[in-house]
């Protein structure tokens, strides 16, 4: 009996991929020329799978801020926020995030995964109940596992199912926390947040929204889906990440409840993790300022989104339910998905290939993510590459969906 026996099914899946000569999982970016171009696995490509929604990873102001912080404060803090790892920049970023969201305070974490996992495992405990959308991110699931709370899944984007499950819980003595996302990362679909808020209000529950993929993308000022739908006052906790629209790494939680500050002293993901490097904090603060002031970036992003989504829709591909910075093509056959991913790479277009069980529908996904930095020529290159994939027979099959 070996400690590695439990991974044999993974070894078999890896060997199956190796036999095809196509290895899309963990493709290596060897060189970057800009936010939208690089060399991946030896191939110069347009980067259409980076979640770099506002294209800020190469913004000169962000890069210069990071360089200054490196020169003045070094490469890392070498400590947690509760020990020696709280620098003035961390505090400033938390204040700026709170000001952006119009809340009393915010907490910054070292990754988005730690933010969501940490808040889930800290806010709810034994005797409490968490109701989460079935398609929530792995970090949310991990947090619920660690919380000790009772966990109930409701059907994806189904407020009526949420309501039914809450009614079955009536009479409980603990607190109830509902968890959903703004934009879901695999298909780019949005939560029916107004309806979920109505259910939350009726049952007196708390509501957490993960705006990881919607911050900087939705809302008049870029705060996310809650702002877009005018329900921010009903959201108890907002969590998210810096690794999408803000072009860096890290996570946050903000809340209308002043008691959020108390969770710092109980949140293990915050207490026992080294804090973000000063250079990351510096670039993130500048990126947040750009998000707040340069609304034309969001407009350009959505122009690119509409172009790609409508073009692939006309080509007959099965897509997510509506346009989003995540434009995912569903492919039922695994071998076809692998071949198409390689063909796209050969034509200079890098997208994410996502395989079951990581996908919500059981199909494979050729997952594109658009950026405000993509030029019209680059979007057209992506469109043309997809247009070349299907033979007439395959195109007819796609149309039948």
The CATH number of residue 340's host domain is 3.90.1150.10
**Per residue in 298-317, pLDDT tens?**
999 999 999 999 999 999 99
Q: Determine, yes or no, domain membership for 70.
A: no
Query: What does the pLDDT average to over 366-393?
Result: 91
Among candidates 129, 127, 211, which has minimal Cα distance to 162? 129
Mean pLDDT of the 106-112 span: 98
Q: Is 298 helix (H, G, I), strand (E, B) or coil?
A: helix
Q: How much is the pLDDT for 197?
A: 98
- The total number of structural domains that make up the chain: 2
The yes-or-no verdict on residue 68 having pLDDT over 90 is yes
The pLDDT, as a whole number, for residue 173 is: 57
Instruction: Among 207, 241, 276, identify where a domain stops.
Output: 276
Asked if residue 183 belongs to a domain, the reply is yes
- For residues 108 and 254, membership in a common domain is answered with yes
pLDDT digits (tens, 9 = 90+) for 268-298: 999 999 999 999 999 999 999 999 999 999 9
**Boundary-marking domain end, from 276, 308, 332:** 276
Question: Residues 50, 143: one domain?
Answer: no
Going by pLDDT thresholds of 50, 70 and 90, the confidence category of residue 25 is confident
Residue 11 has pLDDT above 50, yes or no: yes
For residue 66, is it within any domain? no
| Residue 392 pLDDT greater than 50, yes or no | no
**Mean pLDDT value across residues 104-108:** 98
Q: Are 329 and 317 in contact (CB under 8 A)?
A: yes
Q: Is the pLDDT of residue 399 over 50?
A: no
Q: Are residues 223 and 333 in the same domain?
A: no
Instruction: Tell whether 245 is covered by a domain.
Output: yes
Cis peptide leading into residue 357 (ω within 30°): yes
Q: For residue 208, what is the domain's CATH number?
A: 3.40.640.10
For residue 71, what pLDDT is reported?
Answer: 98
Of the candidates 288, 261, 237, 264, the one whose C-alpha atom is nearest the C-alpha of residue 85 is 264
**Confidence grade of residue 341 (pLDDT, cut at 50, 70, 90):** very high
> Which domain-ending residue is among 243, 276, 309?
276
Do 355 and 271 belong together in one domain?
A: no
- pLDDT-derived band at 14, boundaries 50, 70, 90: confident
Two tokens, residue 364: 């494979």
Asked if residue 365 belongs to a domain, the reply is yes
Residue 320 has pLDDT above 60, yes or no: yes
The predicted pLDDT at position 393 comes to 47
Based on the domain organization, do 115 and 35 belong to the same domain? no
Residue 271 sits in the same domain as residue 299 = no
Are 113 and 262 within one domain?
Answer: yes
Shared-domain flag, residues 25 and 174? no
Percent of the chain with pLDDT over 70: 96
Whether residue 232 has pLDDT greater than 80 = yes
- Would you call 275 helix, strand, or coil by DSSP? coil
Same domain, 346 and 214: no
Give pLDDT, residue 172. Answer: 65
pLDDT band at 26 (very low <50, low <70, confident <90, very high): confident
Task: Quote the percentage of the chain above a pLDDT of 90.
Answer: 89
- How many other C-beta atoms can be found within 10 angstroms of the C-beta atom of residue 322? 10
Residues 380 and 354 in one domain: yes
243-274 b/e (C-beta count within 10 Å ≥ 16 → b) = bbbbbbbbbbbbbbeeebeebeeebebbeebe
pLDDT tens, 189-218?
A: 999 999 999 999 999 999 999 999 999 999
Confidence of residue 171 (pLDDT cuts 50, 70, 90): low
- pLDDT of 169 higher than 90: no
What is the edge-to-edge ordering of all strands in the sheet holding 237-241?
105-109, 251-255, 237-241, 206-210, 176-181, 129-133, 150-154
Q: What was the pLDDT predicted at 391?
A: 52
Instruction: Give pLDDT, residue 394.
Output: 58
DSSP 8-class letter at 36: S
The reply to whether 62 falls in a domain is: no
**Residue 34 belongs to a domain:** yes
Judgement on whether residues 222 and 93 belong to the same structural domain of the protein: yes
pLDDT value of position 91: 98
Residue 187 to residue 208: CA distance in whole angstroms: 21
Supply the mean pLDDT for the chain: 94
CA distance linking residue 275 with residue 142, whole number of Å: 21
Compute the residue count for the chain.
401
Q: Are residues 238 and 149 in the same domain?
A: yes
Instruction: State which residues form the domain around 361.
Output: 5-57+294-399
Look at residue 398 in the predicted model and tell me its pLDDT. Answer: 53
Q: Does a structural domain hold residue 208?
A: yes
What pLDDT does residue 211 have?
98
């Amino acid at each position: 009996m070996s400690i590695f026996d439990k991974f044999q099914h993974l070894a078999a899946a890896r060997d199956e991929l190796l036999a095809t000569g196509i290895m899309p999982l963990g493709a290596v970016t060897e060189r970057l020329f800009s936010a939208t171009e690089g060399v991946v696995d030896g191939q110069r490509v347009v980067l259409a799978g980076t979640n770099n929604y506002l294209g800020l990873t190469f913004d000169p102001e962000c890069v210069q801020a990071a360089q200054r912080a490196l020169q003045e404060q070094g490469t890392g803090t070498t400590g947690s926020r509760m020990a020696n790892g709280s620098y003035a920049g961390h505090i400033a970023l938390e204040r700026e995030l709170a000001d952006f969201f119009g809340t009393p305070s915010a907490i910054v974490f070292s990754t988005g995964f730690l933010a969501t996992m940490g808040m889930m495992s800290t806010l709810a405990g034994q005797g409490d109940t968490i109701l989460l959308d079935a398609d929530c991110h792995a970090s949310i699931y991990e947090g619920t596992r660690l919380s000790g709370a009772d966990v109930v899944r409701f059907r994806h984007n189904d407020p009526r199912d949420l309501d039914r499950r809450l009614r079955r819980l009536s009479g409980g003595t603990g607190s109830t926390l509902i968890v959903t996302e703004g934009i879901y990362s695999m298909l780019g679909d949005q939560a029916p947040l107004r309806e979920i808020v109505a259910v939350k209000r009726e049952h007196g529950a708390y509501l957490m929204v993960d705006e990881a993929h919607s911050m900087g993308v939705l809302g008049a000022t870029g705060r996310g889906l809650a702002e877009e739908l005018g329900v921010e006052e009903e959201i108890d906790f907002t969590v998210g990440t810096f690794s999408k629209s803000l072009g860096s790494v890290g996570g946050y939680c903000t809340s209308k409840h002043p008691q959020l500050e108390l969770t710092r002293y109980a949140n293990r993901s915050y207490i026992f993790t080294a804090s973000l490097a000063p250079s990351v904090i510096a670039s993130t603060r500048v990126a947040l300022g750009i998000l707040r002031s340069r609304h034309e970036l969001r407009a350009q992003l959505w122009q690119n989104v509409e172009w790609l989504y409508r073009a692939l829709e006309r080509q007959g591909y099965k897509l997510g339910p509506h346009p989003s910075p995540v434009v995912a093509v569903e492919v039922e056959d695994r071998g076809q998905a692998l071949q198409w991913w390689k063909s796209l790479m050969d034509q200079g277009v890098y997208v994410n290939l996502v395989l079951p069980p990581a996908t919500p529908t059981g199909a494979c996904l050729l997952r594109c993510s658009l950026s405000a930095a993509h030029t019209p020529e680059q979007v057209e290159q992506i469109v043309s590459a997809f247009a070349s994939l299907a033979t007439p027979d395959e195109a007819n099959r796609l149309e039948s969906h």
